[in-house]
Amino acid sequence: MRRALASVVVLVVAFAAAPAAALTVRDMMGHEVTLPAPPRRIVSLVPSVTEIVFALGAEDRLVGRTDYCEYPPAARGKPSVGGMVNPSLETLVALKPDLVIATDEGNREETFQQLARLRIPTYLVHATRLSALLDLIGRVGELTGHAAAVAPLADGLTRRVDAVRRAVAPFPRPRVLYVIWPEPLIVPGRESLLTELIDVAGGESVTGQERQAYVRFSVEAAVALAPQVIVLADHASANGGGSGAGRPEPEKWRRFTSVPAIRAGRLHSVDLSILHRYGPTVVDGLESLARLIHPEAFR
Amino acid sequence: MSAGRRLALALVVLTGALALVAAISLFVGSAALAPGAVLRALAGRAGAESVESIVTLQIRLPRVAAAALAGGALAVAGVAFQGLTRNPLAEPAVLGVSSGAAFGVVVAQIFGLGLSVLEALGVASFAFAGALLAAAAVYLVAVVPGGLSIQTLLLAGVIVGIFFTSAITVLISIVDFNRLGGVVHWLLGNLAPIPAASLALFAALALLGFWLVLRHARELNLLALGEEAAVQLGVDAERLKRRIFVAAALLTGTVVAFTGPIGFVGLVVPHLLRGVLGQDNRLLVPTALVGGGIFLLAADTLARNLVSPAELSVGVITSFCGAPVFVYLLRTRYRVSL
Amino acid sequence: MNALVEFASVGFTYPQPERTREGGFTLTDVSFGIADGEVFGVIGPNSAGKTTLLRLLTRVVAAERGEIRLEGRPIARLAHAELARRVAVVPQDAPRPFPFSVEQLVLMGRYPHGPGRFFESDDDRVLARAAMAATGVLELAALPLEQLSGGERQRAMLARALAQEPRLLVLDEPTSHLDLRYQAETAALIRRVNAERGMTVLLVSHDLNLAAEVCDRLLLLSRGRVARVGPPAAVLERERLEAVFGCAVSVEVNPVSGRPVVQVAWPQEVRRAGRVG
């Protein structure tokens, strides 16, 4: 009788152990991704995900990144598979990943199809809101088995965001024009995280009603919207400071003396490129942005 | 040596060269596989899930096949257009036909068509339609009584090409900004590994186009006499023009559908072959099929490995090669006298 | 008369936009026959319809009225390849650009006899070489056509037409761009081909004297109609020529051949300019 019971226990434990190792998760696009075991060799094709992995201390699970995953600096120590748009499939396969994390904003549909053909599980992310960013942190934590590190990170970020909200709450909200790229003029629309950040930072994005996330805008229309603060993103640091591309050229904007922002001298060009990489450091950028828009709130 | 024997000899040499380049292409890549590993994978002796197996059989081999097919198809399309227009500077990219096909593909992509066989057929149809549209536009603009004027033809090609490229730009500007990088990347031409079934479709369409041109190769020669003289020799010139047109558009459209627009192959390869074999289309068409494959395969191998692990687009390499050749041709052998 | 070619009340008009000076614009009620084995010339002013006649004969365009018969059969019923086996045309100009060699050009003339073949047969090659020998361009066989002189090009084109083994050889303005020497050579070649092979020749020319010397019979076209058909002496008659060409001419007889020689009567200003003192 005892031997039979022992066998039953063994069998139950054996059966219980096996399925516990495999997991099925749902990615941020709603697709089911089935993994035979928790991933230990992850390739990240998304700079913000790479950043989150390091922020959670899970970098031992990361085996590959893209050329654009340069933050934190330690990320450069991981092998790169190439660009976000044109990663080398061979290099990727040679890293023997058991999971690839990618985004539909920056990676190509064709890459996902190729990965599916090669039967490499792909987890898609999509984060264009602060809430989605927190969700993403949680998911990365779960995938990398570092769920314990999620709460401290996420709570810390949430506290800082709320602190900004509280600090700017009493003040009137100026109209803000954020220039992502000067020529052609590209500004954030409704779907962009930047619009939300401007809102949290106590400003009203003048282009916030535009349907798309990134809108090619005309300079005329921007001027006609009479912004009270203009923020020019300086991409020079991202370009290694060498090329002139992405330099904000504030003199061009100073010509528009009818614009309230120019008259009040509230034309700022700053290296806020961290705002364009939607990882945890976005909150650093948020704080800087809030300081620009409401200097009086942070004296 | 008779023409038939020269053709046979040329084909033997070229096929050998193709095999050699294909072999090199299989051994070289950013995954840094040892030659032994590649050979094991090819022989089927490596594990099905092993890195060398996946990289060699599922990434490199389909890519080699796609490059050889695409290069051959583009070179044959080049020979066809050059025979049709009696102008050695005519090729699908120069005549705006590639842009027309690319426009067709961009439209198809907006409808969400992808890489599965049925979808690939859909994309290929759109590309073919776009190619035909562009080719017809160029022809109608450039045809004058007496034939096709060379200058008008090149101008018409440029104009039609610009038109379709602008149309693509309009479509792109509607597309989500985040997908922009992907579309721009595609427009440079890329040889990605294609699933086997779609590859078979690609091969079938390309070989159909090739056969359509080959069976009229002799009459294409006669077209050099002028349309009226060709008719007087018994050639149905109108039907010939139509068929060559359709065949060249089919070849171009197919390639663009599967790999994006790649230029200059149809210009450089026929030119090189003419230098060795002469003007006879009966020799040029079959050798272009193989020679084009060699050219594009070599270009793609370079594109894959020059800035590893990032990849250059193969269209970049062919343009770098092709543009100087084009200029050289314009200024020396085919100088147009006023 | 054993007619090889017959035109019976042929009428044709170009559709409006195609009107060119060379092609003329209408042929009306044209009837004549070309006898088997003769050298037949078509002459007339530029817009009289000479080229149109040629195009109708080779079915580049189709007659709207009347009928054209070859060996008694209407040519409208013949397939293009069949017609090409019987009628060969030597055009006025060599095609340009033309990147092939002389031999490749002449071999093209064999196409109507084997349109289904991919490569030419050994017989084709033999016939081509014979044709090149007949017109004296055999040594130039491997050269690109574009490297030849005007006269040599003309002879190469003629060789191609001969390689076609036609019943009727058609020459469109064969001497218009040639030096005097090559004009004489071409004239001799035409007669030799006619004598040695019994080949019927149709010659279109605006050189009245060449036509007079070389041809057995002439057809004078004027404004799309037949002005006169017959031997040169009958057709090249002063009053008729003046009416058709619209200028004063004089017609004499060549003492050597007995054929008519037509001379334009130079206007007063020209004559006065030449006078000395």
Query: What distance in Å separates residue B278's CA from the closest CA in chain A?
Result: 40
Residue at B50: amino acid letter:
S
Dist CA B235 CA C108 (whole Å):
11
pLDDT score recorded for residue B113: 62
pLDDT score recorded for residue C24: 46
ipTM above 0.95, yes or no: no
Query: What distance in Å separates residue B244's CA from the closest CA in chain C?
Result: 16
**B163: number of Cβ within 10 Å:** 16
Dist CA C55 CA C68 (whole Å):
12
Average confidence (pLDDT) over A85-108: 90
pLDDT in tens, B9-55: 999 999 999 999 999 999 988 777 888 888 888 888 877 777 788 88
Contacts of C23 in chain B (CB under 8 A): none
pLDDT score recorded for residue B280: 94
CB nearest B51 (choices: A94, A105, A114): A94
- Residue A190, chain B, CB below 8 Å: the answer is no
Dist CA C167 CA C2 (whole Å):
13
N-to-C CA span, chain A = 78
Find the closest chain A residue to B56 by CA distance: A90
Average confidence (pLDDT) over B208-219: 96
CB nearest A88 (choices: B54, B173, B310): B310
Decide: helix, strand or coil at residue A181: strand
* CA distances (Å), origin C148, targets B277, B323, C137: 21, 33, 10
Q: Among C133, B174, B169, which Cα is nearest to A212's? A: B174
Contacts of A105 in chain B (CB under 8 A): 178
CB nearest B86 (choices: C80, C97, C115): C97
pTM of the model: 0.82
Dist CA A257 CA A255 (whole Å):
6
Which phi and psi (to 5°) does residue A188 adopt? -85, 140
CB nearest B224 (choices: C91, C98, C164): C98
* CA distances (Å), origin B2, targets B6, B277, C156: 6, 12, 21
Strand partners, C263: C250
Mutate to test the interface with B, among C60, C78, C105, C146 (most CBs of B within 10 A): C60
Query: What distance in Å separates residue B86's CA from the closest CA in chain C?
Result: 7
Peptide bond into C97 cis (omega under 30): yes
Residue A71 in contact with residue A281, Cβ under 8 Å? yes
pLDDT score recorded for residue B338: 45
In whole angstroms, what separates CA A201 from the centre of its chain? Answer: 18
Query: What distance in Å separates residue A94's CA from the closest CA in chain B?
Result: 6
* Statement: residue B200 has pLDDT above 80: yes
- Residue A189, chain B, CB below 8 Å: the answer is no
- Cβ of A113 within 8 Å of Cβ of B114? The answer is yes
Dist CA B21 CA A140 (whole Å):
44
Dist CA B81 CA B267 (whole Å):
10
**B176: number of Cβ within 10 Å:** 15
Are 3 or more Cβ–Cβ pairs between C and B shorter than 8 Å? yes
pLDDT score recorded for residue B33: 82
Residue B96 in contact with residue B253, Cβ under 8 Å? no
Token digits of residue A159: 């506290």
Contacts of B86 in chain C (CB under 8 A): 97
Find the closest chain C residue to B214 by CA distance: C118
Q: Give the pairing type, strands A99-103 and A42-44.
A: parallel
CB nearest B309 (choices: A82, A108, A117): A82
Query: What distance in Å separates residue A235's CA from the closest CA in chain B?
Result: 18
Dist CA C48 CA A194 (whole Å):
80
Which residues touch A138 (CB under 8 Å, ≥6 apart)? A147, A150, A154
Average confidence (pLDDT) per 10 residues, chain C, 277 residues: 81 67 68 93 88 89 90 89 93 88 96 93 95 93 92 92 94 85 86 90 92 94 91 93 90 92 86 65
Give the residue carrying structure tokens 């030659």: B35
CB nearest B233 (choices: C18, C79, C108): C108
pLDDT score recorded for residue C181: 82
Task: Of A77-81, A120-124, B179-183, B267-271, give the lowest mean pLDDT range.
Answer: B179-183
- Cβ of A213 within 8 Å of Cβ of B177? The answer is yes
* Statement: residue B335 has pLDDT above 80: no
Task: Determine the Cα angle at B22 with ends B16 and B28, to 5°.
Answer: 140
Strand partners, A177: A230
Task: Of A275-279, B232-236, B242-246, C62-66, give the lowest mean pLDDT range.
Answer: A275-279
Dist CA A183 CA A174 (whole Å):
24
Q: Give the pairing type, strands C87-90 and C168-172.
A: parallel
The size of chain C, in residues, is 277
- Cβ of C95 within 8 Å of Cβ of B224? The answer is yes
Residue C203 in contact with residue C42, Cβ under 8 Å? yes
pLDDT in tens, B109-158: 776 665 566 677 777 888 888 998 998 898 888 777 655 666 677 788 88
Mutate to test the interface with C, among B6, B87, B153, B233 (most CBs of C within 10 A): B233
- Residue A216, chain B, CB below 8 Å: the answer is yes
What is the band of A244 on the pLDDT scale with cuts at 50, 70, 90? low
Dist CA A153 CA A158 (whole Å):
9
Mean per-residue pLDDT of chain B: 85
- Cβ of B225 within 8 Å of Cβ of C98? The answer is yes
- Cβ of B145 within 8 Å of Cβ of C111? The answer is no
Are 3 or more Cβ–Cβ pairs between B and A shorter than 8 Å? yes
Helix pair angle (B3-27, B61-85), 10° resolution: 150
Q: Which of residues 79-138 of A touch B (CB under 8 A)?
A: 80-91, 93-94, 96, 104-110, 113-114, 117-118
Which residues touch A227 (CB under 8 Å, ≥6 apart)? A174, A175, A176, A177, A206, A259, A260, A261
* CA distances (Å), origin C118, targets A127, B131, B228, C194: 63, 29, 22, 32
DSSP H helices in chain A: 2-21, 47-55, 89-94, 109-117, 130-143, 147-168, 193-200, 219-224, 250-254, 260-263, 282-293
Which residues touch A219 (CB under 8 Å, ≥6 apart)? A185
Token digits of residue B259: 């790999």
DSSP state of C246: S
B contact chains, 3+ CB pairs < 8 A = A, C
Q: Give the pairing type, strands C3-13 and C65-70.
A: antiparallel
* Statement: residue A126 has pLDDT above 80: yes
Which residues touch C151 (CB under 8 Å, ≥6 apart)? C178, C179, C181, C182, C185, C186
- Cβ of B176 within 8 Å of Cβ of A213? The answer is yes
Contacts of B54 in chain A (CB under 8 A): 93, 118
Query: What distance in Å separates residue B211's CA from the closest CA in chain C?
Result: 13
DSSP secondary structure of A72-127: SGGGGGSPB-B-SSSB-HHHHHHT--SEEEEETTTS-HHHHHHHHHTT--EEEE--
Decide: helix, strand or coil at residue A138: helix
Token digits of residue A283: 């909150």
DSSP state of B113: -
User: What share of chain C in percent tops pLDDT 70?
Assistant: 94
**B9: number of Cβ within 10 Å:** 11
User: What share of chain B in percent tops pLDDT 90?
Assistant: 38
Residue at C28: amino acid letter:
T
Q: What is the count of residue pairs from A and B with beta carbons less than 8 Å apart? A: 86
Q: In terms of pLDDT, which residue wins out, C17 or A48?
A: A48
Dist CA C212 CA C42 (whole Å):
10
Contacts of A91 in chain B (CB under 8 A): 30-31, 308-309
Query: What distance in Å separates residue A142's CA from the closest CA in chain B?
Result: 27
C contact chains, 3+ CB pairs < 8 A = B
Q: Among B214, B114, B95, which Cα is nearest to B160's? A: B95
Peptide bond into A184 cis (omega under 30): yes
Which residues touch B151 (CB under 8 Å, ≥6 apart)? B336
Dist CA A282 CA A292 (whole Å):
15
Q: Among A189, A224, A221, which Cα is nearest to A208's? A: A189
Mutate to test the interface with B, among C59, C98, C111, C121 (most CBs of B within 10 A): C111
What is the band of A242 on the pLDDT scale with cuts at 50, 70, 90? very low
- Cβ of B178 within 8 Å of Cβ of A213? The answer is yes
* CA distances (Å), origin B264, targets A152, B77, B271, B319: 57, 11, 11, 6
- Cβ of B193 within 8 Å of Cβ of A114? The answer is yes
CB nearest B29 (choices: A85, A87, A90): A90
Give the residue carrying structure tokens 């007669």: C191
CB nearest B279 (choices: C20, C99, C164): C99
Contacts of C54 in chain B (CB under 8 A): none
Residue at B66: amino acid letter:
A
Residue C265 in contact with residue C252, Cβ under 8 Å? no
Contacts of B2 in chain C (CB under 8 A): 119
pLDDT score recorded for residue A220: 83
* Statement: residue B80 has pLDDT above 70: yes
